[in-house]
Amino acid sequence: MLKFVSIGDEVRLRYRPDFDQSWVEGQLRDHGSVTISRVFTFERADLVDAASDDETDERGEQAGDLDDLDFEDTFDADWFDFRFARRRDGYLHIDGRIFDIDNKVLIVDGGLALERKLFVAERNISVMARIADLLPPEQDIVIGGDRDQCVPVQAFLDLIKRFPGTTELNRYAASRISTVLGDHFALMADARARYESYMDKARSSLKSASLEHPELLQLELHKYVLIHDTIQDWLSSGDERSEKDWQKMLISFLLLIFPKYVAVLENVRVVDYYGGAGGKPTDRFIDLALFDASGNLDVIEVKKPFHDALVGKRPYRDNSVPARELSGSIMQAEKYLFHLSKWGVEGERKLSAKYKDRLPPGMTIRVTNPKAMIIIGRDRRIDGSAAFAADQKFDLEVIKRKYANMMDIMTYDDLLRRLENIIVSLRKRVEEASHDGL
């Protein structure tokens, strides 16, 4: 059991082992340090005093430095007190070594009630270590306050809330096994079961003669129902799949959803004449590109369906602005389009030669005013409720229209709605065709 106590200008982590306290003593004596909850690492010099259950913080205030204490006496009580943070300049300053990271940690004083779950996620994952993985070692991790590049308190609490629990981690593990070993077992079993069921019915109902119009419409209908249900199933499972998994899943459906395109190209090399050292050309690689029946090349970006990937939480003068994920995706797509256009005729020739086996005979790839498509984020929550307020939704539409001349920004819910409209139209046409055939 551990808790945080405030004593003067410092905060201490007060720890009591659930069973035998001798392991703490042994670690400090033999190694000079001890790790608590697999996250907090303290050195012998951090040990201040051991307070019993009925002692108050006033006793702690009277405790002297470690040099004034007898080391053996510090183990007489049930609790171990370790220096955790110092108050300075409106922040609690925590040495990064406590979390085994190089970054210092600053938490706005009074902004958060310190407790274990702020630092230790499910299965003893260190929250600060995960954040430090994304930062250079010289950059402080700042929570709250008004310092540059600080993480707002609410955003940090949202992060803690969204850390996966045991159930989610177990489901992720099962999903990962299914994704990796699906070809050997039963990947996307529900979707395949629906498809096989339909095919069994189709084989028994279709005549050996040439297909009539209603059967063609019925085939189209089942195709789009399968695509819609598969995407919806993936969305229902949350954020457990990687961006690569989403790309691979959608690749198989893109040409059916957008029939103007005839092929999907992966990892397309394009020359960047401006980004190399010393002005030398360098290579960039587009994850996914599409070319249509005329050979025109377009770019597509497929991102994960995060709810907070579209508009930022902090408005600018009462206006919603693009979230970092969306603005970064837009910038990435714009640069790809820029490099493709600058590559020009030489690029068309090289791309046509590389992908000639994917092209119909006599066709060449053309880079003529290429456009981009971005599939990103969600505007609906898993329960079906709206993810944004009315003003945020309006501002998101403004953002989409701003870039409409060069790219199509589409949420996963936009994609589902498009499929739903196609399905409704096809069902109506099937009914009309069947009625006309009576």
Position 218 pLDDT exceeds 70: yes
Do the beta carbons of residue 1 and residue 79 sit within 8 Å?
no
The DSSP symbol for 366 reads B
What average pLDDT is seen over the chain? 81
Nearby residues of 181 by Cβ (< 8 Å), 6 or more positions away: 187
Do the beta carbons of residue 433 and residue 214 sit within 8 Å?
yes
Tens digits of residue pLDDT in 255-285: 888 889 988 999 999 999 887 666 788 899 9
Position 189 pLDDT exceeds 80: no
Position 69 pLDDT exceeds 80: no
Tens digits of residue pLDDT in 76-104: 457 899 999 999 999 999 999 999 999 99
Tens digits of residue pLDDT in 37-67: 899 999 999 998 654 444 444 333 333 343 4
375 — pLDDT class (breaks 50, 70, 90): very high
Position 299 pLDDT exceeds 90: yes
pLDDT value of position 169: 61
Choice among 191-195, 364-368, 370-374, 379-383 with the minimum mean pLDDT: 191-195
pLDDT value of position 107: 96
pLDDT value of position 436: 62
304 — pLDDT class (breaks 50, 70, 90): confident
Nearby residues of 336 by Cβ (< 8 Å), 6 or more positions away: 270, 284, 286, 299, 372
Domain boundaries, the chain: 2-167, 206-428
116 — pLDDT class (breaks 50, 70, 90): very high
Q: In what order do the strands lie in the sheet with 2-7?
A: 2-7, 10-15, 80-88, 91-94, 105-108, 141-143
Nearby residues of 75 by Cβ (< 8 Å), 6 or more positions away: 21, 24, 25, 50
3-class DSSP state for residue 264? Answer: strand
Position 14 pLDDT exceeds 80: yes
Position 193 pLDDT exceeds 70: no
CA dist 303 and 291 (Å) reads: 20
pLDDT value of position 387: 83
Q: Please report, for residues 92, 118, 121, 323, the alpha-carbon distance to residue 115 in angstroms, rounded to integers and kept in the order given.
A: 14, 6, 11, 30
208 — pLDDT class (breaks 50, 70, 90): very low
- The DSSP-derived string for 93-128 is EE-GGGGT-SS-EEEETTTS---GGGTEEGGGEEHH
pLDDT value of position 386: 86
- The DSSP-derived string for 182-230 is TTTTTTTHHHHHHHHHHHHHHHHHS-SSPPPHHHHHHHHHHHHHHHHHH
Position 233 pLDDT exceeds 50: yes
pLDDT value of position 93: 97
pLDDT value of position 128: 94
CA dist 2 and 84 (Å) reads: 12
Position 374 pLDDT exceeds 90: yes
CA dihedral 134, 139, 140, 143 (to 10 degrees): -50
Name the percent of the chain in helix, strand, coil, to the closest 5. 45, 20, 35
Q: Which residue has the tokens 């600058």?
A: 342
pLDDT value of position 348: 92
Looking at per-residue pLDDT, the higher value among 225 and 78 belongs to 225
Statement: the pTM of the whole predicted model exceeds 0.75: no
| Environment class of 1 (CB within 10 Å of its CB; exposed 0-12, middle 13-18, buried 19+) | exposed
Looking at per-residue pLDDT, the higher value among 403 and 252 belongs to 403
Tell me what percent of the residues of the chain surpass a pLDDT of 90: 38
